[in-house]
Amino acid sequence: MTASTDRIVIFDTTLRDGEQCPGATMTFEEKLDVAHLLDRMGVDVIEAGFPIASNGDFEAVAEIARRTETAIVAGLARAIPADIARCGEAVRFARRPRIHTFVSTSPIHLAHQMRKTEEQVLEIISGTVAQARNLVDDVEWSGMDATRTPIDYLCRAVEAAIRAGATTINLPDTVGYATPDEYRNMFVQVRERVPGADKVIFSTHCHDDLGLAAANSLAGVAGGARQIECTINGIGERAGNAALEEIVMALKVRRDAMPYETGVDSTLLTRASRLVSAATSFPVQYNKAIVGKNAFAHESGIHQDGMLKHSETYEIMTPASVGMSKTSLVMGKHSGRAAFKDKLKALGYELGENALQDAFARFKDLADRKKHVYDEDIEALVDNQIASGND
């Protein structure tokens, strides 16, 4: 796959890294539903699973590969010949198959996990990437824990992968350790120093251990990466991965500051969020950017008053642009008179000035006692007032 200078390839790994999140396993049918929606949304690459992990994973990747109409379907494989062969078997049904193979490059992983020398790992990279390239034309190679790998060795590893035929090079922040400046700089250095770097697409893959996954992904793009790996709702190992909805909307809303575009239909983001949340039984935190229940809710009087006058006072994107039905002015103790009057109108009440003042005072008393004031509470409050002749 080639990418133009301003087009960002969105690589969704909800079904692989996302599913690795403790407790987030999905059934075969749920995976097919998620993959179908991702394809419809315009995601460029769907990482459908880790075929060697289990027969169930293999079957899911193979079926997603058969059914996906537009997106590239990738499977993950360790740098082990049997993994790569199994992955090749699963993705070969796809219109556009990709094998994604990875190996650790950092000293800590080489010493304690792999127990291999740097030279041995370089040989493994050459052999396994070449094997994958014999099976499919589209091969992604990842240097696991790239951000804790000395730059000289990282450049040698990337060079070995490119020479062996990798078409996408992913440099993950596996443990969510990098800062945005460091992450950007790593891409700048590798792209400057490695022969053939201009022939491949560089990719970001950020974990959220320090809450920097989305910022780091965008910093990677500033450093020349043109693919971003992410998941719906940011699910993934430990604190999760960069959230797809945050990346897509940051690039859409701040195109003035970051002149890149994606092919994702943002009006399907809320639907995707709800589907993944239901499939994994993972609730979406209320204040989650873009898709959280409160992302377009306003409670304070000042904010509600502003929103009633002009939506851009406190919203930088419309709820419709992410597929959410509408802004909600939540009635609570911070709400002001303007929002209360608006709510009464929406509920079908028109009160005179004195009655409105009275109802507002009662509402504030109630809101002090109750965490949530529902429409039914307001209706009961006004109906009581009318019944007692105080309207």
Smaller CB separation from Zn ion, 280 or 335: 280
Specify binding-site residues for Mn(2+): 17, 205, 207, 241
Report the C-alpha gap between 117 and 322 in whole angstroms.
48
Query: Nearest approach, Cβ of 330 to ligand KIV (angstroms)?
Result: 37
What's the gap between Cα 309 and its chain centre? 33
Provide the token pair at 95.
């219109």
Residue 26 three-state SS: coil
Name which of Zn ion, ligand KIV, none residue 183 binds, using a CB cut-off of 5 to 8 Å depending on partner kind.
none
Compute the least distance from the CB of residue 17 to Zn ion, in Å: 4
Q: Can you give the binding site for Zn ion, defined by CB under 5 A? A: 17
- CB nearer Zn ion, residue 228 or residue 324: 228
Instruction: Report which DSSP code applies to 196.
Output: T
b/e sequence 288-303, b meaning 16+ C-beta within 10 Å: bebbbeebbebbbbeb
Task: Indicate the Cα dihedral angle 249, 251, 256, 258, nearest 10°.
Answer: 150
User: Which of residues 170 and 266 has its CB atom nearest to ligand KIV in the complex?
Assistant: 170
Residues of the binding site: 17, 205, 207, 241
Closest CB 267 distance from Zn ion, rounded Å: 28
Contact of residue 233 among ligand KIV, Zn ion, none (CB under 5-8 Å per partner type):
none
Q: How far is the CB of 209 from Zn ion (least distance, A)?
A: 11
Per DSSP (E only), the strands in the chain are: 9-12, 45-49, 72-78, 97-104, 139-144, 168-173, 201-206, 227-230, 297-298, 328-329
- Which ranges of 136-212 does DSSP label H, i.e. alpha helix? 151-164, 180-193
Give min distance, CB of 266 to ligand KIV, in A: 25
Helix (H) or strand (E) holding 231: none
Residue 96 or 207: the one with the smaller Cβ distance to Zn ion is 207
102 binds, among ligand KIV, Zn ion, none (CB under 5 to 8 A by kind): ligand KIV
Nearest distance from C-beta of residue 241 to ligand KIV, angstroms: 8
**Minimum distance of Zn ion from residue 277's CB (angstroms):** 20
Cβ proximity to Zn ion: between 17 and 145 the closer is 17
Partner from ligand KIV, Zn ion, none binding residue 86, C-beta < 5-8 Å depending on class: none
Residue 77's contacts (CB-CB under 8 Å, 6 or more residues apart) are 50, 51, 52, 83, 84, 86, 87, 99, 100, 101, 102, 128, 132
332 interface partner picked from ligand KIV, Zn ion, none, CB below 5 to 8 A per type: none
**144 interface partner picked from ligand KIV, Zn ion, none, CB below 5 to 8 A per type:** ligand KIV
For the chain, helix (H) and strand (E) counts, in that order, are 14, 10
Neighbours of 376 (CB within 10 A): 9
Alpha-carbon span 8 to 225, nearest angstrom: 8
> What's the min distance (Å) between Cβ of 215 and Zn ion?
17
Strand partners, 261: 7
- List residues near ligand KIV by CB under 6 A: 17, 102, 142, 144, 170, 172, 174, 205, 207
Residue pair 129/168 in contact (Cβ under 8 Å)? The answer is no
For residue 329, the cross-strand partners are 298
141 binds, among Zn ion, ligand KIV, none (CB under 5 to 8 A by kind): none
Partner interacting with residue 142 (select from ligand KIV, Zn ion, none; CB below 5-8 Å by kind): ligand KIV
| Lookup: tokens for 353 | 């000035």
Q: What's the maximum distance between 2 C-alpha atoms anywhere in the chain?
A: 88
Residue 30 vs 229, nearer CB to Zn ion: 229
**17 or 57: CB nearest ligand KIV:** 17
Name the residue type at position 79: A
Nearer to ligand KIV, 106 or 262 (CB): 106
